[in-house]
């Protein structure tokens, strides 16, 4: 088809996908890494006149979702410790 960019065939998209999947399922610290690597990968592909692979895009999106979940989890843990601290301070 005319007007469409060729798709990138490197392994970077697969690596980003695996990091994004790990970021959602096992190790949340992998999620921001996948997201930022995915952003750079997309930028590099477009600069080279290629389309990012589907796995790379999926990994970038999973990285974004995992990063949001990580931030929410950190907020909840912080609120939990604030609540426990206020309960302990009120009881003393």
Q: Is the pLDDT of residue 1 over 60?
A: no
**Alpha-carbon torsion (42, 48, 54, 56), positive or negative:** negative
Nearest to 7 by CA among 46, 38, 40, 53: 53
**Residues 40-54: tens digit of each pLDDT:** 999 999 999 999 999
Beta bridge partners of 51: 7
Confirm whether pTM is higher than 0.85. Answer: yes
Question: Tokens in use for 30?
Answer: 């992998």
Please state, in angstroms and rounded to a whole number, the distance separating the CA atoms of residues 47 and 89: 57
């Amino acid at each position: 088809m005319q007007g469409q960019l060729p798709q990138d065939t490197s392994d970077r998209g697969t690596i980003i996908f695996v990091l994004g999947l790990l970021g959602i399922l096992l190790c949340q610290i992998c999620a921001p890494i996948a997201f930022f690597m995915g952003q750079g990968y997309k930028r590099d592909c477009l600069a080279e006149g290629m389309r990012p692979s589907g796995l790379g895009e999926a990994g970038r999106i999973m990285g974004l979702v995992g990063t949001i979940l990580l931030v929410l989890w950190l907020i909840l843990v912080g609120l939990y410790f604030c609540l426990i601290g206020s309960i302990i301070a009120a009881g003393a």
